Amino acid sequence: MINVDPYKFKYGPKDMPIIYIKLCILAVLPILLIIVSYVAWSVILRIQKRREEHYTKFIATMVLLLFITHPSLTQSMIDMFNCKNYSDSTGESVNRLVIDLQVECWKDPLHKLFTFYVALPCLIVWGLGIPATIFVLMRKESGKLETLAAKQKFGFLFNGYKRNNYFWEIVIMYRKILCIFIAILLKGKGIILQAMVMLIVLLFFLQANSGRRPFLNRALNDIENLSLITQLITIFCGIFFISARDPLSSNFDKNKDFSLDPVSQYLFFIVIAGCNLMFVVLWLLKLQDVIKDNLMSNFPKIYITLCLWGRMD
């Protein structure tokens, strides 16, 4: 969403790695967006002599901009913790930053400095704080969501949800953050642990979505459940591929390890591919129902023409 890589900067006599410049820009970006939004609407509404609308316009713009930039900002901060072992020319294993292999993780003083004093605070303040701030602002007006002012500020977040689940988009934001955390921060603990933790997280959100049924449209609730179930089955079957060992290997222990014969591999592959294909087909069918319902409610003439082939009976 935001790309500052093409710009080159200097730091003293040496070139500072562009990832650190990008990190600093992203760290102050939310503050800049808030200031620009406030000043821009102050000027515009002063000229139009509509100062009473300043708070509504400012909050609406701020929430929208922070919502759009949040995924890129969070991903960039977490990337500073994403390290991987690579072999150098001597065959020695070196822990390097995945997004910039020239940076040696934790041994480079700049990496430590920017990771602990820029990326980590930004993860807490912006990564976790932006959704929380939006939730607090929405909660203050939870009883006035049908008003024009509330719809201007938060309508794109709660439209499509039941009014008692107006905050569900924030829940989805935290679910995405949690999945990124698991993918990056648990990488050093092994893929099996990552997969098991991810299964627990997805089961929790599947239960939450099934219990709350947050969407107004029943088809959208079904699509969300199908999506989570498909992810669960894919990860569960993937664990067998990840943990299977080669029976011909000298390290294979019949009492501890297990292997997958070709038939079992094909079976698990068919289950994974079949579930994902079924999800796509069901998603298209449910999406068709959603589109028909929207056309019937908002554009009845178009609905009659496209869906009923012009029949009025």
**Per the structure block, which two tokens stand in for 192?**
């099996």
Residue 265 neighbours by CB distance under 10 Å = 14
Rounded Cα gap, residues 119 and 97, in angstroms: 14
Residue-wise pLDDT tens digits, 158-174 = 998 999 999 999 999 99
The three state secondary structure string of 62-129 is HHHHHHHHHHHHHHHHHHCCCEEEEECCCCCEEEEECCEEEEECCCCHHHHHHHHHHHHHHHHHHHHH
Dump strand ranges (E) for the chain. Answer: 83-87, 93-97, 100-104
Per-residue pLDDT at 133: 94
Residue boundaries of the structural domains of the chain? 1-160, 190-313
Cβ atoms 137, 63 nearer than 8 A: yes
Q: State the burial class of residue 148 (Cβ atoms within 10 Å of its Cβ: 0-12, 13-18, 19+).
A: exposed
Q: State the burial class of residue 209 (Cβ atoms within 10 Å of its Cβ: 0-12, 13-18, 19+).
A: buried
Of the candidates 229, 230, 228, 243, which has an alpha carbon nearest to the alpha carbon of residue 194?
243
Per-residue pLDDT at 25: 94
Per-residue pLDDT at 309: 66
Torsion of CA 230, 232, 237, 241, to 10 degrees: 110
Per-residue pLDDT at 71: 92
User: Which positions of the chain have pLDDT values less than 70?
Assistant: 1-15, 303, 307-313
Rounded Cα gap, residues 34 and 134, in angstroms: 13
Per-residue pLDDT at 132: 95
Residue in this structure with the two tokens 């900067």, named with its chain if needed? 9
Phi, psi of 84 (to 5 degrees): -150, 145
Per-residue pLDDT at 14: 52
Per-residue pLDDT at 307: 67
Per-residue pLDDT at 6: 41
